[in-house]
Amino acid sequence: MNTRFKCVYLLVAVAALGGTSFAGAAKAEGLLERGTYLMQSIAACGNCHTPQGPDGPVPGMELAGMADFFELPEFKIHVPNITPDKETGIGTWTDEEIIAAIRDGRRPDGAMLGPFMPIGLYRGMSDNDVRAIVAYLRQVPAVRNEVPRSKFNIPVPPSYGPPVANVPDVPRDDPVVYGAYLAGPIGHCIECHTPMTETGPDFANRLGAGGFVFPGPWGTSVARNITPTGLAGLTDEEIKKSIAAGVRPDGSKLLPPMPFGYYANMTSEDLDAIVAYLRSLPPR
What's the CA gap between 273 and 154, in Å, rounded? 37
Residue 256 CB coordination number (10 Å): 15
- Residue-level pLDDT at 3: 36
What's the CA gap between 202 and 186, in Å, rounded? 19
Q: Find residue 106's DSSP bridge partners.
A: 112
pTM greater than the 0.85 cutoff: yes
pLDDT along the chain (284 residues), means of 10: 34 33 51 98 97 90 95 92 98 98 98 93 98 98 97 93 97 97 98 87 94 86 96 97 96 93 97 98 96
- Residue-level pLDDT at 16: 34
The per-type count for the chain, helices as H runs and strands as E runs, is: 12, 9
Residue 158 lies in domain: 3-280
Contact between 46 and 137 (Cβ < 8 Å) = no
SS3 call for 22:
coil
Domain count within the chain: 1
- Residue-level pLDDT at 116: 86
CA neighbor of 136 nearest in space, from 87, 105, 95, 164? 95
3-state secondary structure 93-123: CCHHHHHHHHHHCECCCCCECCCCCCHHHHC
